Amino acid sequence: MSTHDLYTIPAELSTWNVDMAGSSRFTWEYDDGRDRMLALYQKGKDKQWDSVKRIDWELEVDPYNVLGMPDNTIAIYGTPLWERMDDRTRAEVRRHGAAWQFSQFLHGEQGAMICSARIVESVPDLDSKFYAATQTMDEARHAETYARFLQEKVGLAYPINEHLKALLDSTLSDSRWDMPYLGMQVLIEGLALAAFGVMRDITTKPLPKQILAYVMQDEARHVAFGRMALRDYYKNLSEAELREREDFVIEGCYLMRDRLRGRETWETLGLSRAEVDEAMTSVDQSEYLRIFRSLLFSRIVPCVKDIGLWSPRLQQAYADMGVLEMAGQSLEALMKQDEDIADKLDAERFTAEEAERHAEVSETIAMGATS
Protein backbone atom coordinates (compact mmCIF):
# COMPACT_ATOMS: atom_id res chain seq x y z
CA MET A 1 0.00 0.00 0.00
CA SER A 2 1.27 3.48 -0.86
CA THR A 3 2.01 5.68 2.13
CA HIS A 4 -0.05 8.37 0.41
CA ASP A 5 -3.08 6.12 0.96
CA LEU A 6 -2.44 6.31 4.72
CA TYR A 7 -2.16 10.09 4.94
CA THR A 8 -5.06 11.68 6.76
CA ILE A 9 -4.65 14.94 4.85
CA PRO A 10 -3.10 15.54 1.41
CA ALA A 11 0.68 15.43 1.40
CA GLU A 12 0.86 17.90 -1.50
CA LEU A 13 3.62 16.83 -3.91
CA SER A 14 5.01 13.30 -3.86
CA THR A 15 8.48 14.79 -3.43
CA TRP A 16 9.75 17.99 -1.85
CA ASN A 17 12.66 19.64 -3.64
CA VAL A 18 14.95 21.81 -1.52
CA ASP A 19 17.46 23.99 -3.38
CA MET A 20 20.75 23.50 -1.56
CA ALA A 21 23.61 25.96 -1.58
CA GLY A 22 27.26 25.60 -0.69
CA SER A 23 30.20 23.54 -1.86
CA SER A 24 31.04 19.86 -1.98
CA ARG A 25 34.42 19.58 -0.31
CA PHE A 26 37.09 16.98 -1.05
CA THR A 27 40.14 16.67 1.15
CA TRP A 28 43.47 15.13 0.20
CA GLU A 29 44.59 14.89 3.83
CA TYR A 30 44.28 11.21 4.81
CA ASP A 31 46.02 11.34 8.16
CA ASP A 32 44.56 9.71 11.25
CA GLY A 33 42.43 12.69 12.27
CA ARG A 34 41.06 13.36 15.74
CA ASP A 35 41.18 10.41 18.10
CA ARG A 36 37.77 11.21 19.62
CA MET A 37 36.09 11.46 16.23
CA LEU A 38 37.68 8.27 14.95
CA ALA A 39 36.63 6.45 18.13
CA LEU A 40 33.07 7.61 17.50
CA TYR A 41 33.37 6.44 13.90
CA GLN A 42 34.52 3.01 15.06
CA LYS A 43 31.60 2.84 17.46
CA GLY A 44 29.26 3.82 14.65
CA LYS A 45 30.55 0.88 12.60
CA ASP A 46 30.41 -1.55 15.50
CA LYS A 47 26.85 -0.62 16.47
CA GLN A 48 25.16 -1.11 13.09
CA TRP A 49 22.04 -3.30 13.32
CA ASP A 50 19.26 -4.67 11.14
CA SER A 51 15.73 -3.61 12.06
CA VAL A 52 14.31 -6.73 10.42
CA LYS A 53 16.28 -8.97 12.79
CA ARG A 54 16.68 -6.94 15.99
CA ILE A 55 13.05 -5.82 16.37
CA ASP A 56 10.31 -8.34 17.09
CA TRP A 57 7.78 -7.38 14.44
CA GLU A 58 5.49 -10.26 15.44
CA LEU A 59 4.37 -8.28 18.50
CA GLU A 60 0.79 -7.03 18.21
CA VAL A 61 -0.08 -3.33 18.46
CA ASP A 62 -3.53 -1.93 19.19
CA PRO A 63 -3.78 1.05 16.78
CA TYR A 64 -6.23 2.73 19.16
CA ASN A 65 -3.83 2.40 22.10
CA VAL A 66 -0.40 2.37 20.47
CA LEU A 67 1.66 3.30 23.53
CA GLY A 68 -0.60 2.12 26.34
CA MET A 69 -0.27 5.48 28.05
CA PRO A 70 -2.93 6.76 30.46
CA ASP A 71 -5.51 9.19 29.11
CA ASN A 72 -4.33 11.96 31.42
CA THR A 73 -1.36 12.39 29.05
CA ILE A 74 -3.82 13.64 26.40
CA ALA A 75 -3.94 17.45 26.40
CA ILE A 76 -7.74 17.69 26.40
CA TYR A 77 -8.27 15.02 29.06
CA GLY A 78 -10.79 16.13 31.69
CA THR A 79 -11.90 19.19 29.70
CA PRO A 80 -15.52 19.79 28.62
CA LEU A 81 -14.49 18.82 25.09
CA TRP A 82 -13.17 15.46 26.32
CA GLU A 83 -16.29 14.85 28.40
CA ARG A 84 -18.52 15.46 25.36
CA MET A 85 -16.71 12.80 23.33
CA ASP A 86 -17.97 9.24 23.14
CA ASP A 87 -15.63 6.24 23.51
CA ARG A 88 -15.18 5.87 19.76
CA THR A 89 -14.07 9.48 19.32
CA ARG A 90 -11.68 9.19 22.26
CA ALA A 91 -10.16 6.11 20.65
CA GLU A 92 -9.64 8.10 17.45
CA VAL A 93 -7.95 10.86 19.47
CA ARG A 94 -5.46 8.28 20.78
CA ARG A 95 -4.87 6.78 17.35
CA HIS A 96 -4.43 10.09 15.53
CA GLY A 97 -2.17 11.44 18.27
CA ALA A 98 0.17 8.46 18.01
CA ALA A 99 0.05 8.46 14.20
CA TRP A 100 0.93 12.16 14.09
CA GLN A 101 3.80 11.77 16.56
CA PHE A 102 5.38 8.78 14.82
CA SER A 103 4.83 10.39 11.41
CA GLN A 104 6.87 13.41 12.49
CA PHE A 105 9.55 11.04 13.80
CA LEU A 106 9.58 9.38 10.37
CA HIS A 107 9.85 12.64 8.43
CA GLY A 108 12.50 13.90 10.84
CA GLU A 109 14.57 10.74 10.30
CA GLN A 110 14.45 11.20 6.54
CA GLY A 111 15.53 14.79 7.11
CA ALA A 112 18.38 13.53 9.29
CA MET A 113 19.44 11.09 6.58
CA ILE A 114 19.61 13.89 4.00
CA CYS A 115 21.39 16.25 6.41
CA SER A 116 23.94 13.53 7.23
CA ALA A 117 24.61 13.00 3.54
CA ARG A 118 24.95 16.77 3.21
CA ILE A 119 27.54 16.75 6.00
CA VAL A 120 29.54 14.04 4.21
CA GLU A 121 29.50 16.25 1.15
CA SER A 122 30.34 19.60 2.72
CA VAL A 123 32.36 19.15 5.92
CA PRO A 124 36.08 19.77 5.33
CA ASP A 125 37.50 17.13 7.70
CA LEU A 126 37.84 13.50 6.61
CA ASP A 127 37.17 12.05 10.07
CA SER A 128 33.85 13.93 10.16
CA LYS A 129 33.02 12.61 6.69
CA PHE A 130 33.70 9.08 7.90
CA TYR A 131 31.40 9.36 10.89
CA ALA A 132 28.64 11.17 9.00
CA ALA A 133 28.63 8.29 6.50
CA THR A 134 27.78 5.86 9.32
CA GLN A 135 25.09 8.23 10.56
CA THR A 136 23.51 8.36 7.11
CA MET A 137 23.05 4.59 7.32
CA ASP A 138 21.66 4.90 10.86
CA GLU A 139 19.07 7.44 9.76
CA ALA A 140 18.04 5.31 6.79
CA ARG A 141 17.42 2.42 9.19
CA HIS A 142 15.37 4.66 11.50
CA ALA A 143 13.22 5.92 8.62
CA GLU A 144 12.71 2.35 7.45
CA THR A 145 11.68 1.30 10.97
CA TYR A 146 9.19 4.11 11.60
CA ALA A 147 7.68 3.70 8.11
CA ARG A 148 7.09 -0.01 8.72
CA PHE A 149 5.61 0.68 12.16
CA LEU A 150 3.13 3.19 10.74
CA GLN A 151 2.21 1.06 7.75
CA GLU A 152 1.87 -2.31 9.46
CA LYS A 153 0.85 -1.46 13.01
CA VAL A 154 -0.90 1.92 13.04
CA GLY A 155 -2.37 2.11 9.54
CA LEU A 156 -2.46 5.90 9.55
CA ALA A 157 0.05 8.65 8.79
CA TYR A 158 0.38 12.43 8.68
CA PRO A 159 2.39 14.61 6.28
CA ILE A 160 5.33 16.59 7.61
CA ASN A 161 4.40 19.34 10.06
CA GLU A 162 4.88 22.86 8.70
CA HIS A 163 7.23 23.87 11.54
CA LEU A 164 9.50 20.85 11.11
CA LYS A 165 9.48 21.45 7.35
CA ALA A 166 10.47 25.10 7.84
CA LEU A 167 13.44 24.17 10.03
CA LEU A 168 14.60 21.50 7.59
CA ASP A 169 14.32 24.02 4.75
CA SER A 170 16.44 26.56 6.64
CA THR A 171 18.97 23.90 7.58
CA LEU A 172 19.45 22.44 4.12
CA SER A 173 19.32 25.64 2.07
CA ASP A 174 22.08 27.38 4.06
CA SER A 175 25.44 27.41 2.30
CA ARG A 176 27.55 27.22 5.49
CA TRP A 177 28.80 23.68 6.12
CA ASP A 178 28.14 23.77 9.87
CA MET A 179 24.41 24.50 9.59
CA PRO A 180 23.29 20.90 8.94
CA TYR A 181 25.13 20.03 12.16
CA LEU A 182 23.44 22.82 14.09
CA GLY A 183 19.97 22.38 12.66
CA MET A 184 19.88 18.60 12.64
CA GLN A 185 22.37 17.25 15.19
CA VAL A 186 21.64 19.82 17.87
CA LEU A 187 18.04 21.00 17.35
CA ILE A 188 15.99 18.38 15.50
CA GLU A 189 17.89 15.34 16.77
CA GLY A 190 18.15 16.78 20.27
CA LEU A 191 14.41 17.36 20.53
CA ALA A 192 13.58 14.02 18.94
CA LEU A 193 15.92 12.21 21.31
CA ALA A 194 14.19 13.72 24.32
CA ALA A 195 10.73 12.92 22.88
CA PHE A 196 11.78 9.34 22.22
CA GLY A 197 13.04 9.09 25.79
CA VAL A 198 9.82 10.28 27.41
CA MET A 199 7.76 7.88 25.30
CA ARG A 200 10.20 5.00 25.80
CA ASP A 201 10.03 5.38 29.56
CA ILE A 202 6.22 5.73 29.73
CA THR A 203 4.98 3.22 27.15
CA THR A 204 3.75 -0.14 28.40
CA LYS A 205 3.83 -1.71 24.94
CA PRO A 206 6.90 -3.82 24.01
CA LEU A 207 7.15 -3.09 20.26
CA PRO A 208 7.25 0.73 20.42
CA LYS A 209 9.55 0.42 23.44
CA GLN A 210 12.01 -1.65 21.40
CA ILE A 211 11.90 0.75 18.46
CA LEU A 212 12.39 3.85 20.59
CA ALA A 213 15.18 2.32 22.71
CA TYR A 214 17.17 1.06 19.75
CA VAL A 215 16.82 4.29 17.77
CA MET A 216 17.88 6.26 20.84
CA GLN A 217 21.02 4.21 21.18
CA ASP A 218 22.09 5.47 17.75
CA GLU A 219 20.90 9.03 18.30
CA ALA A 220 23.05 9.41 21.41
CA ARG A 221 26.12 8.99 19.19
CA HIS A 222 24.78 11.47 16.67
CA VAL A 223 24.38 14.24 19.23
CA ALA A 224 27.89 13.52 20.49
CA PHE A 225 29.16 13.91 16.92
CA GLY A 226 27.50 17.31 16.53
CA ARG A 227 28.84 18.54 19.85
CA MET A 228 32.37 17.47 19.07
CA ALA A 229 32.52 18.99 15.59
CA LEU A 230 30.81 22.28 16.42
CA ARG A 231 32.64 22.88 19.69
CA ASP A 232 35.96 22.71 17.85
CA TYR A 233 34.76 24.97 15.03
CA TYR A 234 32.90 27.61 17.04
CA LYS A 235 35.95 28.39 19.16
CA ASN A 236 37.36 30.28 16.18
CA LEU A 237 34.27 32.21 15.03
CA SER A 238 33.82 35.96 15.40
CA GLU A 239 31.14 37.53 17.60
CA ALA A 240 29.09 38.37 14.52
CA GLU A 241 29.30 34.80 13.23
CA LEU A 242 28.31 33.38 16.61
CA ARG A 243 25.36 35.76 16.79
CA GLU A 244 24.11 34.48 13.42
CA ARG A 245 24.19 30.92 14.77
CA GLU A 246 22.39 32.00 17.93
CA ASP A 247 19.66 33.65 15.86
CA PHE A 248 19.24 30.36 14.02
CA VAL A 249 19.06 28.40 17.28
CA ILE A 250 16.47 30.73 18.82
CA GLU A 251 14.24 30.64 15.75
CA GLY A 252 14.65 26.87 15.46
CA CYS A 253 13.74 26.26 19.09
CA TYR A 254 10.56 28.27 18.73
CA LEU A 255 9.68 26.29 15.60
CA MET A 256 10.24 23.02 17.44
CA ARG A 257 8.17 24.18 20.39
CA ASP A 258 5.28 25.22 18.15
CA ARG A 259 5.48 21.91 16.27
CA LEU A 260 4.31 20.13 19.41
CA ARG A 261 0.87 21.74 19.24
CA GLY A 262 -0.22 19.45 16.38
CA ARG A 263 -3.21 21.48 15.27
CA GLU A 264 -3.69 19.32 12.19
CA THR A 265 -4.64 16.27 14.28
CA TRP A 266 -7.61 18.07 15.81
CA GLU A 267 -8.70 19.44 12.44
CA THR A 268 -8.59 15.93 10.96
CA LEU A 269 -10.82 14.44 13.66
CA GLY A 270 -13.85 16.22 12.25
CA LEU A 271 -14.20 18.75 15.06
CA SER A 272 -15.86 22.08 14.38
CA ARG A 273 -13.66 25.17 14.11
CA ALA A 274 -14.77 26.22 17.59
CA GLU A 275 -13.90 22.79 18.97
CA VAL A 276 -10.47 22.87 17.29
CA ASP A 277 -9.81 26.24 18.93
CA GLU A 278 -11.03 24.78 22.24
CA ALA A 279 -8.62 21.85 21.82
CA MET A 280 -5.69 24.16 21.05
CA THR A 281 -6.44 26.20 24.18
CA SER A 282 -6.31 22.98 26.18
CA VAL A 283 -3.01 22.05 24.51
CA ASP A 284 -1.50 25.40 25.50
CA GLN A 285 -2.75 25.07 29.08
CA SER A 286 -2.03 21.36 29.62
CA GLU A 287 0.21 20.79 32.63
CA TYR A 288 1.36 17.44 31.25
CA LEU A 289 2.38 19.04 27.94
CA ARG A 290 4.10 21.87 29.79
CA ILE A 291 6.27 19.32 31.58
CA PHE A 292 6.70 17.27 28.40
CA ARG A 293 7.75 20.37 26.44
CA SER A 294 10.26 21.27 29.12
CA LEU A 295 11.73 17.77 29.08
CA LEU A 296 12.07 17.95 25.31
CA PHE A 297 14.69 20.67 25.72
CA SER A 298 16.72 18.59 28.19
CA ARG A 299 19.08 17.56 25.37
CA ILE A 300 19.10 20.78 23.34
CA VAL A 301 19.86 23.40 26.01
CA PRO A 302 22.99 21.77 27.54
CA CYS A 303 24.24 20.91 24.05
CA VAL A 304 23.87 24.51 22.84
CA LYS A 305 25.76 25.64 25.93
CA ASP A 306 28.47 23.02 25.40
CA ILE A 307 29.24 24.06 21.81
CA GLY A 308 29.80 27.68 22.85
CA LEU A 309 26.52 29.42 21.98
CA TRP A 310 25.62 30.84 25.38
CA SER A 311 25.25 34.62 25.22
CA PRO A 312 22.89 36.46 27.61
CA ARG A 313 20.35 36.93 24.79
CA LEU A 314 20.25 33.18 24.10
CA GLN A 315 19.90 32.45 27.81
CA GLN A 316 17.04 34.95 27.96
CA ALA A 317 15.29 33.19 25.07
CA TYR A 318 15.48 29.90 26.96
CA ALA A 319 14.26 31.63 30.12
CA ASP A 320 11.26 32.97 28.17
CA MET A 321 10.54 29.41 26.99
CA GLY A 322 10.79 28.16 30.57
CA VAL A 323 13.63 25.73 29.84
CA LEU A 324 16.76 27.56 31.02
CA GLU A 325 17.19 25.22 33.98
CA MET A 326 17.85 22.39 31.52
CA ALA A 327 21.34 23.81 31.02
CA GLY A 328 22.42 21.87 34.10
CA GLN A 329 21.59 18.48 32.59
CA SER A 330 24.51 16.09 32.03
CA LEU A 331 24.51 14.97 28.41
CA GLU A 332 27.06 12.26 29.16
CA ALA A 333 24.82 10.74 31.84
CA LEU A 334 21.75 10.90 29.59
CA MET A 335 23.57 9.28 26.67
CA LYS A 336 25.01 6.52 28.85
CA GLN A 337 21.52 5.84 30.13
CA ASP A 338 20.26 5.56 26.53
CA GLU A 339 23.00 3.05 25.72
CA ASP A 340 22.38 1.01 28.88
CA ILE A 341 18.59 0.81 28.43
CA ALA A 342 18.93 -0.56 24.89
CA ASP A 343 21.55 -3.11 25.98
CA LYS A 344 19.42 -4.17 28.97
CA LEU A 345 16.38 -4.57 26.74
CA ASP A 346 18.39 -6.80 24.40
CA ALA A 347 19.68 -8.88 27.31
CA GLU A 348 16.21 -9.37 28.77
CA ARG A 349 14.66 -10.24 25.42
CA PHE A 350 17.26 -12.69 24.26
CA THR A 351 17.67 -14.33 27.68
CA ALA A 352 13.90 -14.91 27.76
CA GLU A 353 13.94 -16.31 24.23
CA GLU A 354 16.81 -18.64 25.10
CA ALA A 355 14.93 -19.87 28.18
CA GLU A 356 11.83 -20.45 26.08
CA ARG A 357 13.79 -22.46 23.51
CA HIS A 358 15.41 -24.49 26.28
CA ALA A 359 11.98 -25.26 27.76
CA GLU A 360 10.69 -26.37 24.36
CA VAL A 361 13.66 -28.70 23.87
CA SER A 362 13.24 -30.15 27.38
CA GLU A 363 9.54 -30.71 26.76
CA THR A 364 10.26 -32.44 23.46
CA ILE A 365 12.84 -34.69 25.11
CA ALA A 366 10.44 -35.51 27.91
CA MET A 367 7.68 -36.39 25.44
CA GLY A 368 10.06 -38.64 23.57
CA ALA A 369 11.09 -40.42 26.77
CA THR A 370 7.48 -41.24 27.70
CA SER A 371 6.30 -42.30 24.26
> For residue range 96-150, what is the model confidence (pLDDT) as tens digits?
999 999 999 999 999 999 999 999 998 888 888 998 999 999 999 999 999 999 9
The amino acid occupying position 266 is: W
Determine the distance from the C-alpha atom of residue 257 to the mean position of all C-alpha atoms in its chain, rounded to a whole number.
14
| For helices 189-202 and 206-234, angle between their N-to-C axes, nearest 10 degrees | 150
Mean residue pLDDT of the chain comes to: 87
Number of domains in the chain: 1
Give CA separation, 58 vs 13, 54, 149, 203, 348, in Å.
33, 12, 11, 18, 17
Task: Please indicate, yes or no, if residue 223 is contained in any of the structural domains.
Answer: yes
CATH at residue 135? 1.10.620.20
Amino acid at 218: D
Q: Is residue 367 part of a domain?
A: no
**Residue 342 counted as domain residue:** no
Residue 7: beta bridge partners? 157
Which of 7-11, 128-132, 161-165, 217-221 shows the lowest per-residue confidence on average (mean pLDDT)?
7-11
Average pLDDT over residues 290-305: 85
Examine residue 191 and state whether it is found in any structural domain, yes or no.
yes
The verdict on residue 176 lying in a domain is yes
Full-model pTM = 0.86
Question: pLDDT (tens digit, 9 = 90+) per residue, 16-29?
Answer: 878 777 777 788 77
Q: Which domain holds residue 197?
A: 3-11+33-333
Residue 341 inside a domain? The answer is no
Q: How far apart are the first and last CA of the chain?
A: 49
Whether 99 is covered by a domain: the verdict is yes
Report CA torsion sign: 21, 223, 164, 341: positive
Diameter of the chain by CA atoms? Answer: 84
| Burial classification of residue 61, based on how many CB atoms lie within 10 Å of its CB (0-12 exposed, 13-18 middle, 19 or more buried) | buried
**CA–CA separation, 89 and 102 (whole Å):** 20
pLDDT of 244 above 80? yes
> Is 355 contained in some domain?
no
Percentage of the chain exceeding pLDDT 90: 48
Name the pLDDT band for 65 (thresholds 50, 70, 90). very high
